[in-house]
Amino acid sequence: MPELGPLRPERVAVYTLTLPGLAVAERIHRVLPGSTLYAAAKYRGLLEGAVYFEEPIKELLLKTWPLHDGHVFVMASGIVLRAIAPLILDKRVDPAVLVVDLKGRYFVPLLAGHLGGANPLARHLAEALGGALLFRADVTQDEELDALFAGVKEAFGGLDYLVHAIAFAPREAMEGRYIDTRRQDWLLALEVSAYSLVAVARRAEPLLREGGGIVTLTYYASEKVVPKYNVMAIAKAALEASVRYLAYELGPKGVRVNAISAGPVRTVAARSIPGFTKMYDRVAQTAPLRRNITQEEVGNLGLFLLSPLASGITGEVVYVDAGYHIMGMELEG
């Protein structure tokens, strides 16, 4: 079992608002002897020794924030962020803040990960409860990326592989004409969708073990025009070029870098692309396999590229799109 770092169990508070959260909070409370469990008053009496509260969580924190060195919230991260925002002062003095989902599967340090001890606390609880340790970061903020990889190093010592699966462009930059793209939207799309790979690869480099790999996700629009994909297509083209340069530079260290070019898959993010439904149907009609791909097929390719089975493959863009990318012209009859 990992150590708690600078935190002492008796200086940690655990909060919950719901009945499912109460069960998880009670397990956390047992793992942290002497911790204080705060539960919504409507569950009064269900747990012996809990402190029950009537007021909104934001008002409760005005009283409990200075009493504890660590705060574990079993609730949605949005609720927590809004509640603690007025209380945050400086990373040197802020307490550790951790968010846990209602099933006790994911443990996410939100505040004071390194200095305050949120990272070792998250790892301690994840191992004790059989969950997964998660870190959050805004890829446009260097300090947050630095903290993310410091947490990874502290928790795991090194990395076997890294999966880069992030992209963003403002919706208005994908609805109109590409020629009308605003400078700030173009720069934001390129920074989040392409430069972020360079930023995380640089920080991962000293952690990646020999034989390790990096995989990112791209799309066919990087090389052919897909109407309404607009600036995201430019970002994907930059991403693919970055894959080749990173593969060249990391190759001597035994680290491989590849990209997966997946066909359209029905995800929440994909549905935000203008005309996605038409795109999805067209691919199924045109692709040689006469269907769309599944998320499992994308995952299988990623697993292959990161495994020793792909030990001689680097700098490649590998398609998993039911063969759609090979088609040049459709002829009926």
Tens digit of pLDDT at every position of the chain (333 positions): 456 667 789 999 999 999 999 999 999 999 999 999 999 999 998 888 899 999 999 999 999 999 999 999 999 999 999 999 999 988 788 899 999 999 998 999 888 766 678 888 998 899 888 888 888 889 999 988 998 898 888 878 899 999 999 999 998 888 889 999 999 999 999 999 999 999 999 999 999 999 999 999 999 989 999 888 899 999 999 999 999 999 999 999 999 999 999 888 877 676 667 777 887 888 888 888 899 889 899 999 999 999 999 999 999 999 999 888 888 876 664
Whether the CB-CB separation of 65 and 80 falls below 8 Å is answered with no
Whether the CB-CB separation of 298 and 227 falls below 8 Å is answered with no
Whether the CB-CB separation of 17 and 61 falls below 8 Å is answered with no
Q: What is the pLDDT of residues 197-206, one digit of tens each?
A: 999 999 999 9
Greatest alpha-carbon span in the chain? 76
Phi-psi domain of 255 (left: phi exceeds 0; alpha: psi -120 through 50; beta: other):
beta
Residue ranges with strand state E in 67-177: 70-74, 96-100, 106-111, 132-133, 159-164
> How far are the Cα atoms of 28, 29, 47, 115, 123 from residue 36, in angstroms, in the given order?
10, 7, 12, 22, 19
Catalytic residue IDs: 219, 229
Within its chain, how far is the Cα of 12 from the centroid? 26
pTM attached to this predicted model: 0.76
Write the single-letter amino acid at 274.
P
SS3 of 51, please? strand
Tokens 């911790």 locate to: 35
Q: Which domains does the chain have, with CATH numbers?
A: 9-133 (3.40.50.11220), 159-326 (3.40.50.720)
Containing 80, the helix (H) or strand (E) segment is: helix 77-84
Q: Can you give the pLDDT at residue 139?
A: 94
In sequence order, what are the residues at sequence separation of 6 or more whose Cβ sits closer than 8 angstroms to the Cβ of residue 307? none
Q: What is the pLDDT of residues 252-296, one digit of tens each?
A: 999 999 999 988 887 767 666 777 788 788 888 888 889 988 989
